Structure 1
Amino acid sequence: MRHLAIGLALVLLTTACSQNGSEKNPAGAAGRVLVSTSFEELEGWIPENPSLTQEKAHTGRYSVKIDPGTEFSLTYINQLYRLSPKRFDKVRLTAWGQLTAPGSAAVVFQITHADQTTAFYEKIDITEVNSWGRIDKVLTMPPVLDPADQVKIYLWRATATAPAYLDDLTLSVEP
């Protein structure tokens, strides 16, 4: 139930963010921001969650983290049709990430069908230790996606044995 409440809060909050972005750019236009968050706007909207933290932030006060006790961070979940009324072939995911010790942690971009099977999966490793490193990846979408398919973005611990952080995440349409 707690995960459902967190997911619902994130969907509502980020849908509002993505709708604001569509007012600035025509639907389907390259460079249109689909999602953008520095995690500041989540305070007070979701139940207390160990992955939302003030320990380190690239900008503002908040970021999300994973550690040995937290396998996955808060997850952004939204249906494709809510992100954009038109199909897009490529998206650019940018963020800032940091490991606090050598290890393996990654930002995951995933699209799942209604039956929870995976339509697309990309793991983007965080490589910077003890400093913020920019993550920038262009992702080419599969040729067949249903508008009701869900986009999921989250930080995954993988084999990291110390905390890792993610902040200032943006997903935008690429030409």
Structure 2
Amino acid sequence: MVLAVAAGCSSAPETGQWVGDLVTASDYEAVAGWVPGATSLSRDHAHSGRFADRIDAEHTFGLTFQLPLNQASVHALRGLDVEAWTYFSSLKSGGALQVQVWAHGPGQDAKPLYEEQLNLREQVTDSCHWTQVHRRFTLPDNLPGDANLRLFIWGNPSTKPVYFDDLRVKALE
């Protein structure tokens, strides 16, 4: 009886709360061999497993995750809750996780419909160890479902290596 009462008192999550949809998660282990030309994939440092994504003087951009918005979640995607681990080889390192939405199709403007970033330096206070980073992104209401969601790390520019691993992106309703 108590269980029925407790279950009856539960409510739906508020707008902007995670509802359980996992947009993507990557520890970069499955990327090796599947993505041709994945030169930013590195075995130098990894938070888990053997691989991490890397930006440095030769790799301005890391691997890109890309998926149409209407395939990213079974619910209307209102935002993203992003968490990952990063490793700065030096406090002179820098970089950001870029979150972008681009229009799909020919003749579209050459600029994103939406763009924000998680500036890694704002959350990393020390070098030579792994730091968990986190940010929530709120997407505009007017994005078309066939627009492409893109996520990648970017070294603006980073001359000292930055490693990125164990990315988890959850849908916000």
Q: Do both proteins adopt the same fold according to a TM-score greater than 0.5, normalized to the shorter chain?
A: yes
| 2:21 equivalent to 1:32 | yes
| 2:101 equivalent to 1:111 | yes
Q: What is the 5 A alignment of 1:83-162?
A: 83-101=72-90, 102-114=92-104, 115=108, 116-127=110-121, 128=124, 129-162=127-160
Paired with 2:152 and 2:136, the residues of 1 have a C-alpha distance of: 16
Paired with 1:107 and 1:151, the residues of 2 have a C-alpha distance of: 13
Q: How much has 1:29 moved relative to structure 2?
A: 6.7
Paired with 1:140 and 1:48, the residues of 2 have a C-alpha distance of: 32
| 2:69 equivalent to 1:80 | yes
Q: Which moved more, 1:100-109 or 1:140-149?
A: 100-109
Deviations 1:54-112 (A, max 9, x none): 11111111110011011101111111111124312121011111211123211111111
Paired residue secondary structure (2:143): coil
- Looking at secondary structure, tell me which structure has more helix per residue: 1
- Asked whether the 8 Å contact 1:90–1:139 carries over to 2, the reply is yes
User: Higher relative CO (CA 8 A, sep ≥ 6), structure 1 or 2?
Assistant: 2
Q: Which moved more, 1:101-110 or 1:62-71?
A: 101-110
Percent identity between the aligned chains?
23
Paired residue secondary structure (1:74): coil
What is the aligned counterpart of 1:50 among 39, 48, 61?
39
Deviations 1:6-47 (A, max 9, x none): xxxxxxxxxxxxxxxxxxxxxx97132110110001121122
- Asked whether the 8 Å contact 2:53–2:163 carries over to 1, the reply is yes
Paired residue secondary structure (2:70): helix
| 2:66 equivalent to 1:66 | no
Which has the greater radius of gyration?
A: 2
Q: How much has 1:126 moved relative to structure 2?
A: 1.6
Corresponding pairs, count: 148
Paired with 1:93 and 1:32, the residues of 2 have a C-alpha distance of: 12
Paired residue secondary structure (2:163): strand
Q: Which residue type is aligned with residue 113 of structure 2?
A: A
Paired with 1:38 and 1:147, the residues of 2 have a C-alpha distance of: 27
- Asked whether the 8 Å contact 2:73–2:171 carries over to 1, the reply is no
